[in-house]
Structure 1
Amino acid sequence: MPNLAIVRRLEAVGFRAWPAASIQYDGSWQIRLTAGHPSKRLNSVNPLDPSDHDDIEGRVERAARRFGSYDRPLVFRQSPLAPPPLEAYLDALGWRRFDETIVMTGAIESLDIDHGMDHLPMRDVGRYVDASIAVHGREQSLKPGLTEVLSAIRPPSGLFVLEEETTGPVSTALCVHDNDLAGLFELATRADKRRSGYGRDVVTAALRWARHRGAETAWLQVESANTAAVALYKGLGFGEVYRYAYRQKPGY
């Protein structure tokens, strides 16, 4: 069983690092919605207290109406903070579980990050967004929404892009420095450049930047199915703290 105090802290810094446009609460269920970006983390119900499970059916119905007003399918993001009766309720209705994600941490002084070239973060949000969209292979229509999300981040953040002179951006990362914690987000390497060391280089450059700023612990989220990335982070010295997954009703 993971340490729930640590889970609560990482969940809180994760919400600050990837801010939703609209945040509402139904008890301790945080309802996050963002019209301009389809990210599940920005459009999901996040239960934050294992003991808060009164009137589950009514609260799920209210959440569905809120998501409907945004033209979004209802999605629950279930971490160890989700109440077990809610899990059982969704199981009984046949809601599928998908995109299991591992949350990992590592003491920065112990991580293997002192190799590779130093790269300074860029200040141009628009240029970073263009690079991130290209590296992830996403639709250009996401640019306004991603720009809005990045511009809303309040803790200091570093935008990292590795580029080749002839082919353009090959790897990107967002590093958010929140007190003693450094969170890594939007990590990606272009499909034709994977397994060439770029992912490791962008991660280590971002973490050296965070260490210079005084961060002591690094953390990140990676889908459990991404075995290459999980192996990379374990090789750097990260360890698993907890997992979460998304739930959605059948047919979506």
Structure 2
Amino acid sequence: MTKPDIQKLYDVTEATWPPAARFDLGPVTLRDGAGGGKRVSAATAQDGWTPVDLDAAEARMNEMGQQPLFMIREGQDDLDATLDAKGYKVIDPVYARMCPVSNLTDLPIPRVTAFAIWEPLAIMRDIWAEGGIGAERLAVMDRACDPKTGILGRVDDKPAATAFAAIHDGVAMVHAVETRVAHRRKGMGKWVMRQAAHWAAANGADWIAILVTTGNESANALYESLGMEIVGKYHYRIKA
């Protein structure tokens, strides 16, 4: 079971949280996120780009009505420096974390604590909406590759948390983890992730991954406690 590297996780991210459309403009790939956030809207540059290519990509993003935004992947120091010189600012550095699915399937899920459900129930959509995850991001979930599922978590006999997961090339990636304010610090996060892992194992995945901003200390502490190691990182640069 070969451990996936960060380059593979970039591909898994694209498949499990896809843009509405993507196309190449020379060595730059542009994405139409349809309002689904940075992850589905950011441009990426391949080897061989030039500053002229970046200017053309910026102009096209403006034409698309999207704020110029690039994802900077590991090893793209020259791209990072060039965009910095062009006035692009760093925003939302992200860790990619991962572990074997078996790390999170060693415990059974307590009765009526977490469930894998697709399509999402109305209460799941409500919980996402409370956390700012609206129709545009739900549309991303609809576009995502199969197999996929939603996760519903319950505590104190009440709906408390939800998440989305999909599998690509043997890796289950979890997105849109959201816990209701009234039910935070009750252990919901770990059971949501463990339910996602049980579902992933049942659907043939060997690894489970998640993306989390570097500044989210509580989430990083949770995933660290579950044995999800940092595999790599990326950040965005955005034009003011």
* Partner Cα distance (2:66, 2:78) in 1: 24
Task: Tell me which amino acid in the other structure corresponds to 1:162.
Answer: G
Residues 57-76 of structure 1: matches in 2 within 5 Å? 58-76=52-70
Summarize deviations over 1:86-133 as a string: whole Å, max 9, x none.
212122234211211000110122347515426332223462433311
8 Å contact kept, 1:182–1:218: yes
Q: Aligned partners of 2:119 and 2:50: how far apart in 1?
A: 47
2:30 aligned partner: 31
Q: What is the distance in 2 between the residues matched to 1:187 and 1:87?
A: 29
Matches within 5 A, 1:88-99: 88-99=81-92
Deviation, 1:8, is: 2.2
Residue identity matched to 1:68: N
For the structure 1 residues 235 and 81, does the alpha-carbon distance in structure 2 shift closer, same or farther, using more than 3 Å as the test? same
TM-score under structure 2 length normalisation: 0.87
- Paired residues in the alignment total 234
Identity %: 23
Name which of 201, 207, 213 aligns with 1:217: 207
Of the candidates 101, 104, 109, which is equivalent to residue 97 of structure 2? 104
Paired with 2:21 and 2:38, the residues of 1 have a C-alpha distance of 13
**In angstroms, what is the RMSD of aligned CA positions?**
2.2
Residue 182 of structure 2: aligned partner: 192
Whole-angstrom distance in 1 between the partners of 2:185 and 2:15: 31
Instruction: Choose which of 110, 127, 146 in structure 2 pairs with 1:131.
Output: 127
Gap change, CA 1:194 and 1:165, over 3 Å in 2: closer
Report the equivalent of 2:238.
Answer: 248
In structure 1, what is the Cα distance between the partners aligned to 2:203 and 2:36?
Answer: 32
TM-score normalised by L of structure 1: 0.84
**Structure 1 contact 113–205 (Cα < 8 Å) conserved:** no
Residue type at the aligned position of 2:127? A
Amino acid at match of 1:149: V
Distance in structure 1 (CA, Å) of the matches to 2:30 and 2:42: 6
Equivalence for 2:149: 158
In structure 1, the partner of 2:114 is 119
Alpha-carbon separation, structure 2, partners of 1:197 and 1:130: 20
Distance 1:151 1:21 in 2: 10
Residue in structure 2 matching 1:174, options 155, 164, 180: 164
Please state how far the C-alpha of 1:28 moved relative to its aligned partner: 4.1
Task: Check the 8 A contact 1:16/1:155 in 2, yes or no.
Answer: no
CA contact (8 A) 1:97 1:245 kept: yes
Q: Structure 1 residues 200, 242: closer, same or farther in 2, change over 3 A?
A: same
Which runs of 5 or more structure 1 residues have no equivalent in the other structure?
A: none
Cα 1:231–1:105, aligned 2, differ >3 Å: closer, same or farther? same
Structure 2 portions without partners, runs of 5+: none
